Amino acid sequence: MTDTILEVKDMKKYFNSPKGKVHAVDGVSFSIERGSTLGIVGESGCGKSTIGKSILRLTEPSDGQVFFEGKDITEISKREMRRLRKDMQIVFQDPYSSLNPRKTVSQAIREPIVINNIIKGKDAINDRVVELMEMVGLDQRLYNTYPHELDGGRRQRICIARALAVEPKFILCDEPVSALDVSIQAQILNLMKDLQEQLGLTYIFITHDLSVVKFFSDRIIVMYLGKVVETASADDLFKNPVHPYTQALLSSIPVPDLEARKERIMLSGEISSPINPKNECRFAKRCRFVMDVCHESAPDLTEISEGHCVACHLLKTK
C-alpha cells in the first residue's frame, strides 16, 4: 500500500573537533512516502541541515543507511551516486551564493541538462530551458540576464528550475524561503506546491520557521541536538504536541493575530553542547518537567498513537 521512496535508518554523523566528537546527528530514522512532504524543524545546531547533506552524501554519514527506492545508497560508489543525483536534487537557502555569477539564467538552467545528457540537440535543449523557465514563472525576457540583475525571489526560481531540469523524483529543500521577504516567500511556497502536484515530487523541507513547515508538510520531525524528539502528521503535531520541547517551540512563535495571544512556555537557558554528550535526555537541562531519570538515560522514540512518536521519559510516568 504505502510507497516509500526514501528511508533513513539510524543515521549518525559525528564531526571531529579539538574538544571531542560533535554529535551533529545521533541515530535518526524516518521514511517518506512518494509524493509527500516531510518537514524537519529545529533550531540552530539541531542537525537538520547535516541530515539533508548526509542523505545526498554531500557529506558522508558516519553510520547508518539511506535507502532510495529500496537501494542502500550509502554503499554505492561515488560514480553511481552521481548518476543517482539526477533523481535526488537540492535547493539551498541562499540563492545569492548558490548561483554562478558569471552564468546567465539560461546557461545556469542548461548546464545540468547537458552534463547529465538528458536531452540531445541544441534546439531541443533550448526549448526545454524555455519550458522550465515558464514552469517556475520566469519571464522569457530574463533568458540572458545574470543573477546579480535579479531579486532573491527570481534567483530562487532559477535554482528550482535548475533542480527540475534533470527531472528528479525527490528534492531536498534546505530553508528555501528563509532569505526571502514574506510577499516573495509566499510566491515561492505556492510555486513549490504546484510543482509537487504537477510532477509528483517528493520533498524534504528543512526549516526553522514553524508556520511555513505547517503550511507545507504532510509529516513533521522535530529535532533537538541531533535527535528526533517528536514526529507526527502536521495537523496532529500542531493540535497535540506532546514533547515539552515541541510545546515550548510552538508556544514561542509570535502569531500575527491579536486575539490569538496565548500562554507562553518560556524556556530557560540555551541549547547545550553537542560535543561528547552524556547518555541522558538532551533537553533535560531546559525542560520544565525534568526528573531524575532524564539524567540517567536517553529516552527512546515511542509511538503514542498512530504515526505519532515521542521521545520523553514523561510518557512512562503517565
Q: Name the site residues for other proteins (rule: CB under 8 A).
A: 43-44, 151, 153-154, 181-187, 189-190, 193, 208, 210-212, 214-216, 235, 238, 248-261, 264, 266-267, 270-271
Q: How far is the CB of 186 from other proteins (least distance, A)?
A: 3
Closer residue to other proteins (CB): 98 or 247: 247
Check: CB of residue 164 under 8 Å from CB of residue 195: yes
Closer residue to other proteins (CB): 74 or 187: 187
Closer residue to other proteins (CB): 33 or 43: 43
Q: How far is the CB of 139 from other proteins (least distance, A)?
A: 11
Return left, alpha or beta for 45; rule: phi > 0 is left, psi -120 to 50 is alpha, else beta. Answer: left
- Measured from the Cβ of residue 207, the count of other Cβ atoms closer than 10 Å reads 22
**Which H, E and C letters describe 190-239, residue by residue?**
HHHHHHHHHHCCEEEEEECCHHHHHHHCCEEEEEECCEEEEEEEHHHHHH
Q: How far is the CB of 275 from other proteins (least distance, A)?
A: 14
Rounded to the nearest 10°, the torsion over CA 63, 65, 66, 71 is 140
b/e map 242-273, b = 16+ CB within 10 Å: bbbbbebbbeeeeeeeeeeeeeeeebeeebee
The position carrying cell 506546491 is: 193
Q: How far is the CB of 127 from other proteins (least distance, A)?
A: 27
- Would the CA dihedral through 219, 9, 200, 188 be positive or negative? positive
Closer residue to other proteins (CB): 44 or 198: 44
Closer residue to other proteins (CB): 41 or 165: 41
Q: How far is the CB of 237 from other proteins (least distance, A)?
A: 11
Closer residue to other proteins (CB): 143 or 238: 238
H helical segments located in 31-148: 48-55, 78-84, 105-115, 122-135
Q: How far is the CB of 207 from other proteins (least distance, A)?
A: 11
Q: How far is the CB of 316 from other proteins (least distance, A)?
A: 25
Check: CB of residue 51 under 8 Å from CB of residue 205: no
Closer residue to other proteins (CB): 31 or 145: 145
